[in-house]
Amino acid sequence: MNELFQKTIINGMPLANRFVRSATWEGMCDTDGRPTTRLTSCYRDLAKGGVGLIITGYAFVRPDGKQLPGKMGIHTHDFASEMQTLTRAVHNEGGKLCIQLVHAGGQTTAKTAGRQPLAPSAVKVEQFPEEPEAMSKQDIDEIVAAFGNGARLAKEYGFDAVQLHAAHGYLINQFLSPLTNLRDDGYGGPVENRCRFLLEVYRRVRSEVGPDYPVFVKLNGSDNLEGGLNIGDAVHAARLLDKEKVDAIEVSGGTSASGERTPVRTGIDNPALEAYNIALALKIKEAVRCPIMAVGGFRSLEVIDKAAIDDGIDYISMARPLIREPQLINRWKEGDPAAARCISCNGCFKPGLKEGGIYCVVEKKEAQKRKG
């Protein structure tokens, strides 16, 4: 277990351990995407709790790429003060903060986006609330530029790294997937073409932040959908990113339409159900030289040890366990090996919609019982 708490460096960014807080939607921003003090406190608590690297909730690079309420935006200078307060709070606790950049593409609605949603193709699939508009070359160029602008602002505001969200059915993933990308131009068809948008976004971001700033990609190893992105195509994309000197790839799987194999599966109540993306992560690990982060159902140290020490996964990513226990990493480091208390019920997301911020509803009920 000591290996999990060894210091590492990614492209000049020192990390205290090999634990990553994977991105999750918190619902703690204003309607325009401005971070609130509640979000700052959330990230501060994670840094206090010992998380080596905190990846923010997915931040939209343009307003038409927003999906859920309370989602953070990284598209304007208007939030500079709040963003700098956010990064400073994490740094004051010795933590590192990476912002995740996203455009929801067809996984939003006209009401939220303020226009008909954009996607690679005008195709209605289960994961899209409504039929989107097929993107023109000008749309593509403008959204590539928006990703670059978001990365530049992130660096200015003191974020330690950026991550491109190319998983879970969002816009970059929509280009990668033959299910949602039916284009017959240079962005569609064979996997080389379907990777073009991802590479253009990556190159634009890299040009904005420079070679000495960490840039990560969150990539589906599989969409877990018939006709969607499969592991073969994911390995191809990973190899292309590796050649471009991406600093790390976080491997996930699934979309909102993937049934029981979505990115946030329920009922992870024993070690046999944990690490549900590990096979995908290992396939990609075999194909690249860059560090690999694996996410998906990690709850117990025995499973984490096997993934990191035996299998060679470089970083272990978790989200829901750290909603219930922001101090989980320090608890493990201090010698309490009990598994994370998260029961994978996904109840934490409901107050994000109803109350303006996620929290563990089970923990709150137990706390009320103890008081009462």
Task: Please identify which residue in the block is written with the tokens 């206090």.
Answer: 48
Residue type, 65: G
Rounded Cα gap, residues 50 and 332, in angstroms: 10
Active site residue 170: yes
Calculate helix-pair angle for 278-287, 231-243, nearest 10 degrees.
Answer: 40
CA gap 175, 196 in Å, rounded? 8
Q: Considering the candidates 43, 58, 170, 202, report the single residue annotated as catalytic.
A: 170
Phi, psi of 72 (to 5 degrees): -80, 145
Whole-number Å distance between alpha carbons of 290 and 245: 8
Residue 305 burial (10 A CB sphere; 0-12, 13-18, 19+) = middle
Token pair, residue 329, equals: 């990493």
CA distance 160 to 41: 18
Length of the chain: 372
CA distance 246 to 263: 23
CB 323 within 8 A of CB 360: yes
Using DSSP's 3-state secondary structure scheme, residue 151 falls into: helix
- Beta-strand pair 118-119/133-134: parallel
Q: Going along 40-116, which residue ranges are E strands?
A: 53-60, 97-102
Residue whose tokens read 């929801």: 104
Find residue 215's DSSP bridge partners: 162
Are 83 and 157 contacting, i.e. CB atoms less than 8 angstroms apart? yes
Token couple for 175 = 């280009």
Backbone angles phi, psi at 165, to 5 degrees: -85, 100
Catalytically annotated residues:
170
